[in-house]
Amino acid sequence: MLRPASTIVDTLRQTWHRHATLFKDLSLAGASFALDLGLFALFLHLSGHVVVSVIFARLLSALFNFIGNRVFVFKGAHHHALRTQLIGYVVLAVAMMLASAAAVQWLVHSWQWPAVPTKAGVDVLLYIASFAIRSTWLFRLQPHQPHR
């Protein structure tokens, strides 16, 4: 039996409101990834240096991601000041990078797992941890300020 269109729209609207922060964060992550890749290609074309291109692309895409988290994903009256959030974001990013490298290294060398799928799986788990930290602490809103 087909459901009326209004019921489907209401269900979609309720799902969006319930999971909007996660949907927005995933959208921002995709945009940051695309920007990082595009900037990497541009800088590589201009400089011919892989490491320099990776560093500059990652710095700019991370800045884009930080601003997007603050004004798009977790917009509202923030519990922490901008400087505190920026420092926390940098610490979290470095910690996630080191955790990813260590876990992938260990799983590949100790368990003989293939590197690329292992990194993908590890990074998905780290994304979940990162989202929890960002939403409950780093970009936490003042009381009575719902996510929009």
* pLDDT at position 142: 81
State the DSSP code for 136: I
pTM of the shown model: 0.81
What DSSP assignment string belongs to 15-61?
Answer: HHHHHHHHHHHHHHHHHHHHHHHHHHHHHHHHH--HHHHHHHHHHHH
Q: What is the pLDDT of residues 32-84, one digit of tens each?
A: 999 999 999 999 999 999 889 989 999 999 999 999 999 999 988 888 899 99
State which H helix or E strand residue 90 sits in. helix 82-111
* pLDDT at position 48: 93
Nearest Cα to 86, choosing from 35, 39, 139? 139
Nearest Cα to 89, choosing from 42, 49, 133? 133
Q: pLDDT-based confidence at 8, cuts 50/70/90?
A: confident
Q: What is the pLDDT of residues 79-111, one digit of tens each?
A: 889 999 999 999 999 999 999 989 999 999 999
Residue 25 and residue 136 in contact, taking contact as beta carbons nearer than 8 Å:
no
Q: What is the pLDDT of residues 101-144, one digit of tens each?
A: 899 999 999 999 999 899 999 999 999 999 999 999 999 888 76
Angle between helices 5-47 and 115-133 (to 10 degrees): 120
Q: pLDDT-based confidence at 2, cuts 50/70/90?
A: low
Plot region of 145 (φ>0 → left; ψ -120 to 50 → alpha; else → beta): beta
